[in-house]
Amino acid sequence: MAQDVLCAVSSCFFWENGNKCGADSIYVVSQLGNEASHSSETDCKTFVPKS
């Protein structure tokens, strides 16, 4: 599991100095329902499809 979660949205309540996310958990969604093939189809920039 990731040790550091980065966030570039400084207006978010969970944003911390150094572009860190201070939330206890992260919720990633697909714009297409439950499936995605590319990061552009998600709200997660580090998305990599399962092989």
Could you tell me the residue ranges of all domains in the chain? 1-42
Q: What is the C-alpha radius of gyration for the chain, rounded to an integer number of angstroms? A: 12
Please give the pLDDT value at position 43.
81
Judge contact between 14 and 22, C-beta under 8 A.
yes
Q: d(Cα 33, Cα 20) in Å, to the nearest integer?
A: 27
Please tell me the predicted confidence (pLDDT) of residue 26. Answer: 86
Per-residue pLDDT of the chain (51 residues; tens, 9 = 90+): 668 899 888 898 989 999 999 888 888 888 888 888 888 888 877 777 788
Nearest to 5 by CA among 45, 32, 40: 45
**Residues in CB range of 35: below 8 A, 6 or more apart:** none
